[in-house]
Structure 1
């Protein structure tokens, strides 16, 4: 369903009984709400949650911001590397305000929040800027944004900066994402290629190839910098950090750092997990969310 939140239009899906404990899922860079697998969502519903997932701005069926143009990602990366200010079309704090608007539009006064990758960064802003809305935090494969943390390998960085050979052809786009997700995915829990390709093609059919939206989101991540890290001591809700020990995009040191910065946070380091949500680990993720929620 389409709702108005923070002055824009967002696509939202609401799963489970209205009487369930609200759980807001926030997805990462360039990903749609369906990147939270349906099977995982249903596990959470069976655990007693009312699960809300939504397309971030500029992605899927939510409002696009093409009028803001395509940012120069290379220049933004260079500025970030030199610790220079990065000008972004919008900020992660704006995206956190979107998430707050989703809860408010649904009449939810507070919720447990789980964010993955960029979604985890947005979740941090949500907890800092709208503390009354957040009951607990689960931060998956994400980062504080602190300076000095290890970066992706050159190979992974180059893959993230690349694009399909023909962005107008579904086969080309699907092949690009299969290669990328193979590179950053879980070596201990590889998704079979036919299943991975089917998931990617379903995403393309649903929301297209939002290359410019992904670029704007990526620059928003770069613009956020270390200022968020310095504020994380202000998070006072129960927090669980889940991070793969084999994550090549956001190395596990980011999870270690995040757990140190948030008072009382618990850390689940997962052997063999990369930068994805492999099906064999869904029960572990769901149990971690259940535990930190106090259910």
Structure 2
């Protein structure tokens, strides 16, 4: 069952709704003309669909794509998903390094199925698939498991998730574990804590002013604030483990994009994806971190669109 509310932006139609997929409710925003080729954008860990830069979305629609964004399970306006498994990240990371099994509320494979069933709900057979960070992992897995539905793949600031790849920078790991950060869940505390984190992972060559980050974080807090979901999604990444072995199944045009200065997902993760996927193109952007600075939106648009156009050849 799928319910949507149509509206119009200044330039194109917008359809917002909730789809019942994979036993849960997923909130989505579907923009552009339904006769245009579909492009689904998959966001990363703990982030809502609103983190996709509006200018990037507008650019892609102007280039002739129907753009679908959605809140992953457990985030934003989509369903909370918990079966009671405690997200013990330090223990799970250790077990991952030792290649031991990990129990979790869900894995990235469940999120891949969410994506596939959302496309079903929107009556979309094939799509260009774009993912960022954790969303890039989901996009890679989708393209490997549903090659017949993938027109092209663009994976940004992501990885094959193999246990032997470099971990995030130590100070970021401490922040992720809740060390050295101010506690509390009121709006001001949560926003300032997130600001501290975003400044650590942002692009050193393309800085974003604090006030712009704060405005976005305040808006996201008002839309939805679920700190426990962030832990469950982190746990899902660890529990999924490496998937390099599956990437040889991908046969669509593939563009891997990574920042040379990414302190959260090391560039070796992106390089590993590019090596594992047949004929993948790799773009290492000097001075880019783990964010979407507005200075790079034209470049990202160009990379995504050029790769998508290869599918028509």
2:284 to 265, 269, 272: 269
TM superposition shift of 1:84: 1.6
Query: Could you give the per-residue CA deviations for residues 189-212 of structure 1, whole angstroms, max 9, x where no partner exists?
Result: 11100000000111100012x111
Could you list the per-position Cα deviations for residues 166-211 of structure 1 after superposition, in whole angstroms to 9, with x for gaps in the alignment? Answer: 4321010001110000001111111100000000111100012x11
Corresponding position of 2:145: 129
Deviation at 1:5, TM superposition (A): 1.5
Q: Report the TM-score, using the length of structure 1 for normalisation.
A: 0.96
Aligned to 1:287: 302
Give the C-alpha shift of residue 8 in structure 1.
Answer: 1.1
Q: Which residue of 2 aligns with 1:206?
A: 223
Does 2:12 correspond to 1:28?
no
Picking from 252, 269, 274, the partner of 1:254 is 269
Q: Residues of 2 paired with 1:146 and 1:90: CA distance?
A: 18
- Larger RCO: Structure 1 or Structure 2 (Cα < 8 Å, ≥ 6 residues apart)? 1
1:240 is matched with which residue?
A: 255
Mapped to 2, the partners of 1:102 and 1:66 lie a distance apart of 20
Which 10-residue stretch deviates more, 132-141 or 149-158?
149-158
Is 2:128 aligned against 1:112?
yes
Q: 1:161: Cα distance to partner? A: 1.6
Matches within 5 A, 1:95-106: 95-106=111-122
- Secondary structure at the residue paired with 2:153? strand
Give the structure 2 partner of residue 179 of structure 1. 196
> Where does 1:151-190 land on structure 2 (aligned, <5 Å)?
151-162=167-178, 165-190=182-207
SS at match of 1:212: helix
Q: Deviations over 1:106-131 (max 9, x none)?
A: 00010000000000111112112222
Alignment partners' CA distance in 1, 2:208 and 2:215: 11
CA distance in structure 2 between the aligned counterparts of 1:166 and 1:67, rounded to whole angstroms: 26
Runs of 4+ in structure 1 displaced over 6 angstroms? none
In the TM superposition, residue 69 of structure 1 has moved relative to its aligned partner by 4.9
Provide the C-alpha distance between the structure 1 equivalents of 2:192 and 2:102, rounded to a whole number of angstroms.
31
Indicate the residue corresponding to 1:229 in structure 2. Answer: 244
- Give the secondary structure class of the aligned counterpart of 1:289: helix
Would you say the 8 A contact 2:206–2:287 is kept in 1?
Answer: yes
RMSD over aligned Cα, in angstroms? 1.3
**Following TM superposition, by how much is the alpha carbon of 1:150 offset from its aligned partner in structure 2, in angstroms?**
1.7
* Counterpart contact for 2:28–2:71, Cα < 8 Å: yes
Equivalent residues in 2 for 1:17-96, closer than 5 Å: 17-96=33-112
Q: Distance in 2 between matches of 1:94 and 1:67?
A: 13
Q: Tell me which residue corresponds to 2:14.
A: none
Contact kept in structure 2, 1:66 and 1:212, CA below 8 Å: no
8 Å CA contact 2:158, 2:270 repeated in 1: yes
